Amino acid sequence: MPGNGNVGTAETAQNKAVEYIGPGKVEVRTIDFPALELRPGPGVPPRNAGRLCPHGVILKVVATNICGSDQHMVRGRTTAPAGLVLGHEITGQVVEKGRDVEYVDVGDLVSVPFNIACGRCRMCKEGNTHVCLNVNPERPGGAYGYVDMGGWVGGQADYVMSPYADWNLLRFPDRDQAMDKILDLAMLADIFPTGYHGCHTAGVTSGSTVYIAGAGPVGLAAAASAYLLGAAVVIVGDMNTRRLEQARSFGCETVDLTEDATLADQIEQILGVPEVDAAVDCVGFEAKGSGEEGPTEQPATVLNSIMEVTRAAGKLGIPGLYVTDDPGASEEAARHGSLSIRIGQGWAKAHQFSTGQCPVMRYNRGLMEAILHDRVQIAKAVNATVLPLEEAPNGYEDFDRGEAKKFVLDPHGMLAGKTP
């Protein structure tokens, strides 16, 4: 048996998974059943290949979401290799545990932080699980199914291996209660903590006025988080009218960035002043600006605009993804992660910036309790929509067209009939 684990399912079980084939294309293919080992494969650094994981578990995937970060790869905007198994938003049931796993048991229903962390290094001990020093030999930080993040196999699959299980996994205390709220709990792996992190690091608190750039799933999660933190007014900006309508569905004010009026002018129409206390960038490096020929890619436009509309001494949360290499960028500098940011404006206004991936473990337990005790309806806010795993390619296409939905893949039919 792999890793001398306690086996709860047959190793010969089918394992279908969503693979990145090339720009604009994903397919559902049969892959090997996971073992308690990181086998060689697409995107796996040589120094990680063959890494034994007796501290890991095998999960039967209950829910796994399509993320905007996945879309960056699928659009060909990263150096992701063909054959990479996608998926870093995972909720699952433990079916096998390694010999070193003490506190997670077969049958447990768990949320899997998208950050893979060892729990042993300096960064993990300081709570910076998003930049663990031991799970990726090429740079700080690891994740499932993502380019340059250690090669850990993604979870848009029937089954997936999760290492360092005692440290990483968040166990739901009551299975029946969890399944009743499973679409909400499925957001704990990434977008709910990520949106919350963006607002928390931007200093959102009771009575804050907040601007959220982007009405995709992370932006909507940030907006819901801002209200959870006590914001008085949450303004969401986007060019997609369907997504702006979704933001309004739970009380947000909105600005349509295709209109002629400036962002500051539209904010002033709402608040009476052209600035907010805090701003959150939930767009990232594929940002677009309005021009005479319609929206064009301007990767620094969101960062510059949120500096413009955030008050002096305000804070900017930047959970939106920025990359070190972008082969599809329209500008040479942007292909290497260099953007034309007006840092002088931020300096002059004494802004504070917070960037990087969300350290999910810092927030997920508290957000789980907020879900279980009906303090937030995050699945409704992001319009969680269930699809069978086999329909993942359609989900990617619809998401790329700007549908106002958060697609949740259902590999085993355990989400049948579930709606927000």
Q: How confident is the model over 2-29, as pLDDT tens digits?
A: 344 444 454 568 899 999 999 999 999 9
The domain tally of the chain equals 2
Rounded to whole angstroms, the Cα distance separating 257 from 126 reads 39
In the chain, pLDDT over 90 holds for what percent of residues? 87
Q: What does the pLDDT read at residue 9?
A: 52
Residues 133, 146, single domain; the answer is: yes
Distances (CA, A) of 165 to 6, 31, 37, 51: 14, 22, 13, 15
Residues 25, 156, single domain; the answer is: yes
Of 355, 377, 402, the residue that ends a domain is 355
Ramachandran angles phi, psi of 252, nearest 5° = -75, 145
Q: Inter-axis angle of helices 241-248 and 217-228, to 10 degrees?
A: 20
Q: What is the CATH number for 304?
A: 3.40.50.720
Whether the Cβ atoms of residue 83 and residue 42 lie closer than 8 Å to each other? yes
pLDDT of residue 191 exceeding 70, the answer is yes
pLDDT tens digits for range 325-376: 778 777 888 888 888 899 999 999 999 999 999 999 999 999 999 999 999 9
pLDDT of residue 60 exceeding 90, the answer is yes
Rounded to whole angstroms, the Cα distance separating 153 from 53 reads 13
Residues 176, 308, single domain; the answer is: no
Whether the Cβ atoms of residue 52 and residue 92 lie closer than 8 Å to each other? no
**Structural domain includes residue 418:** no
Mean pLDDT in residue range 177-186: 98
Q: What does the pLDDT read at residue 231?
A: 98
Query: Which residues are 136's β-sheet partners?
Result: none
**Structural domain includes residue 415:** no
**Structural domain includes residue 113:** yes
Q: What is the CATH number for 186?
A: 3.90.180.10
**Structural domain includes residue 390:** yes
Radius of gyration over every alpha carbon of the chain, rounded to an integer in angstroms: 21
Rounded to whole angstroms, the Cα distance separating 303 from 214 reads 12
Residues 259, 150, single domain; the answer is: no
- Which of 296, 244, 110 is CA-nearest to residue 188? 110
The rounded Cα 23 to chain-centroid distance in angstroms is 20
Q: Tokens representing 114?
A: 């998208």
- Which of 87, 92, 90, 89 is CA-nearest to residue 110? 92
Q: How many residues are given for the chain? A: 420
pLDDT of residue 179 exceeding 70, the answer is yes
* Parent domain of 11: 2-190+361-410
- Which of 129, 127, 128, 117 is CA-nearest to residue 165? 117
pLDDT of residue 196 exceeding 80, the answer is yes
**Structural domain includes residue 419:** no
pLDDT tens digits for range 382-401: 999 999 999 999 999 999 99
Residues 177, 261, single domain; the answer is: no
pLDDT of residue 1 exceeding 50, the answer is no
Residues 256, 335, single domain; the answer is: yes
pLDDT of residue 252 exceeding 80, the answer is yes
**Structural domain includes residue 270:** yes
Residues 336, 196, single domain; the answer is: yes
Residues 140, 277, single domain; the answer is: no
